[in-house]
Amino acid sequence: MPKHAYAIVLRSMANPKSKAAKKQSRAAKEKPKPRNASNLSARSRSSKGAPRSGAFGRGTNPERVKAILRGLDETYPASTTALKHDNAFQLLISTILSAQSTDQRVNMVTPGLFKKYPSPAALAYANPNDIEQEIRSTGFYRNKTKSIIGASKKIVEEFHGEVPRTMEEILTLPGVARKTANVVLGTAFGIASGIVVDTHVQRVSGRLDLTKNTDPKKIETDLMKIIPQDRWILFSHQLIWHGRRVCQARKPKCIECNLEKICYSKDKTI
C-alpha cells in the first residue's frame, strides 16, 4: 500500500468527530451563563446580615416609629418606674441612688432610709457617716451621700422644702442631671420635659435604629424629634422595661420580642 494511503487513514482516526458534533461542542462552550451568576455567591454572602426594610421602611420613618409605639403599647401599656416611692422627694433620692446600681437594690435600701429621714429637712442636716452606712450597698456611697444631702439642703433652703417642678430649677440640685430630672418631672409631676435616657434606653433605641448617637444628650434630642411629646413619659418607661425584660445587653430575647419583624439590629439572635 502506498505511504500516502497510511497518512489518510491516520488523519481520519485522529479526527473522528463529525461536523455536527463539533458544532454542538462549540455551542455548549459558548452557552451564556445565567445573568449575574458570577456574583450570586458574593451577593448571598453580603446580604446574609443585611437589614430588612419591611413594610414600614427603616430608621425613623414615621410609619415605622408608629409601629414601634404600637408594639410597646401592646406589651407595656401602663408601665412606670420600678423605684418605690410615696412622693417626689423620695423618687428624687431613689433615682440619685440608682446610678451605677439596680432598682432592686435601691428598693431594699430606701425603706429604712426614708423611715429615719422622712423629709428633705431631716436628710439635709443628717450626719454624713450615718447616711453612708444606710446606702453603702448601692455603691459609690460617699459621692451619693454628698448628692442627696446637698440636694435636700438646697430644696429646704431655696425651694421651700418642695422638689422643683421645672427642668431649669431641678438641674441646680446636686447630683441631678437630665436623666434624674426627667424621671422626677415625668413620673412624679406628669411634666414631659424630655425623655429619660438610661443604659437601657440608650441600648434599645440604638438597636431599633431610632438614633445613631451614643451620647445621652444627643440620643434624647433625637428621640424627642420623632416621639410625640405626649408619649415622652410613657415611652421612656416602656423602653426601660423592654431593655430589662427582652432586649437585654448580652443576649437579647429576640424570639420573645414583638418588635422583631421591624428590627434589623446586628445584635439580633434570630
Distance CA 176, CA 203 (A): 22
Q: Is 73 a catalytic residue?
A: no
Catalytic residue among 198, 217, 222, 261: 198
**Ramachandran angles phi, psi of 173, nearest 5°:** -80, 135
Distance CA 163, CA 89 (A): 6
End-to-end CA distance of the chain: 81
Long-range contacts of 249-252 (CB under 8 A, 24+ apart): 249/199, 249/203, 252/207
Distance CA 117, CA 120 (A): 8
Catalytic residue among 22, 115, 146, 179: 179
Length of the chain: 270
Q: Is 22 a catalytic residue?
A: no
Instruction: Name the residues annotated as catalytic.
Output: 179, 198
